[in-house]
């Protein structure tokens, strides 16, 4: 056992470029890692057969799925293609309590509700404030993230975010990221991510802000907003094209697309408004059935119709399911302390 933890090649590296150590992670790892978790090749957890070795989550800020119908396949060809090629629903839900960016994204990567007093992550603000400094401080209890779980198991992670407030995550889980790129220009950010695909890395989280920015300036579902969705679709298309152009990546990568919230009219902040709390959840990758409805694949989850279910009773598919869907795709345990899909029973493969 070495004192500094080194990255193991694990599966991604073999899928992409043979045995490559992910650089930059041999720094001292603080903290809450279990003693003795140092992985050897033989003890590394194995993903289930057919599991991916690369996962990319794309969150399109303020993506109201109604935009897809208005734009049609010609206006949003990538998103339509991902739906055709994968399993999806346009009727997933946000967190129950709030429909704003930072609280909902923090739910995605922790698998927790928002309300701290009932075990949530406690991030209720949506700006660049530096206090509370961390998610732990916001929650009043320790909050583990998806990134931390992957990191503990030797998997490389990267965050590509287009709003500076995401630096909260870096402060909260400072050793869990191999790369953090916060670039407001969405086109540049996408180029950075595509360039990064050459680096063996298990997980990437990409946040694209353009629809939200256009929505706040001109109204959600307005013409400029729809134009931003169209533009985001084109950018996403470049990511998909980069994956598909590389046979190794294509057969090893699961791409999922969701949103922090929707929006209609001047704002998206009322959590009781359908257009705000309904979000898409689209998964495409090897083994994921084509053209499938996620609710058909998951009878234990309930399509909520137009309702806004609480966390009690049968659950809709939520954007907060991202965390444990990702851990389960890699064959890893659920995020400690998480609630959403904590049983890791959200299925994206056929039976």
Interface contacts to Zn ion, rule CB under 5 A: 212
Q: Which is nearer to Zn ion, 176 or 213 (CB)?
A: 213
Q: Which is nearer to Zn ion, 212 or 341 (CB)?
A: 212
Smallest separation, CB 259 to Zn ion (Å): 11
H or E stretch covering 5:
none
Please, what is the angle between helix 223-244 and helix 186-196, to 10°?
Answer: 10
Q: Give me the phi and psi of 212, to 5 degrees please.
A: -65, -40
Q: Which is nearer to Zn ion, 197 or 213 (CB)?
A: 213
Smallest separation, CB 226 to Zn ion (Å): 16
Q: Which is nearer to Zn ion, 95 or 212 (CB)?
A: 212
With tokens 């009219």, the residue in question is 265
Smallest separation, CB 207 to Zn ion (Å): 12
3-state secondary structure 44-91: CCCCCCCCCCEEEEEEECCCCCHHHHHHHHHHCHHHHHHHHHCEEEEE
Smallest separation, CB 100 to Zn ion (Å): 6
Q: Which is nearer to Zn ion, 185 or 350 (CB)?
A: 185
* Tokens matching residue 135: 């998610």
Comparing every residue's Cβ against Zn ion, the nearest one is 212
In angstroms and rounded to an integer, the radius of gyration of the C-alpha atoms of the chain is 19
Smallest separation, CB 209 to Zn ion (Å): 8
Smallest separation, CB 79 to Zn ion (Å): 20
Q: Which is nearer to Zn ion, 212 or 321 (CB)?
A: 212
The answer to whether 63 touches 211, Cβ cutoff 8 Å, is: yes
* Interatomic CA distance for residues 39 and 187, integer angstroms: 37
The answer to whether 53 touches 202, Cβ cutoff 8 Å, is: yes
């Amino acid at each position: 056992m070495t004192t500094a933890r080194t990255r193991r090649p694990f599966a991604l590296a073999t899928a992409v470029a043979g045995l490559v150590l992910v650089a930059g992670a041999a720094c001292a790892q603080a903290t809450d890692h279990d003693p003795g978790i140092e992985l050897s090749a033989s003890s590394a957890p194995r993903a289930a057969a057919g599991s991916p070795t690369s996962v990319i989550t794309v969150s399109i800020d303020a993506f109201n799925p109604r935009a897809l119908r208005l734009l049609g396949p010609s206006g949003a060809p990538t998103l339509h293609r991902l739906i055709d090629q994968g399993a999806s629903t346009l009727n997933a839900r946000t967190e129950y309590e709030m429909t704003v960016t930072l609280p909902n994204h923090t739910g995605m990567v922790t698998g927790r509700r928002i309300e701290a007093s009932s075990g949530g992550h406690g991030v209720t603000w949506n700006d660049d404030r530096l206090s509370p400094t961390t998610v732990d401080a916001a929650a009043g209890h320790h909050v583990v993230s998806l990134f931390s779980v992957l990191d503990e198991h030797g998997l490389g992670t990267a965050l590509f975010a287009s709003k500076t407030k995401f630096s909260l995550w870096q402060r909260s889980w400072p050793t869990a990221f191999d790369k953090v790129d916060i670039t407001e220009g969405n086109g540049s950010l996408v180029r950075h991510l595509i360039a990064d695909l050459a680096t063996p890395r298990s997980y990437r989280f990409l946040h694209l802000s353009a629809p939200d920015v256009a929505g706040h300036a001109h109204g959600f579902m307005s013409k400029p907003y729809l134009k931003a969705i169209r533009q985001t679709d084109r950018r996403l298309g470049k990511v998909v094209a980069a994956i598909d152009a590389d046979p190794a990546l294509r057969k090893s990568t699961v791409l999922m697309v969701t949103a922090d919230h929707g929006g209609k009219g001047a704002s998206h902040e009322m959590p009781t408004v359908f257009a705000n709390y309904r979000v898409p959840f689209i998964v495409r990758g090897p083994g994921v059935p084509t053209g499938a409805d996620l609710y058909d694949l998951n009878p234990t989850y309930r399509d909520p119709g137009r309702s806004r279910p609480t966390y009690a009773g049968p659950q809709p598919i939520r954007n907060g399911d991202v965390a444990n869907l990702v851990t389960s795709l890699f064959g890893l345990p659920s995020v400690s302390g998480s609630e959403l899909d904590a049983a890791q029973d959200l299925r994206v493969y056929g039976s």
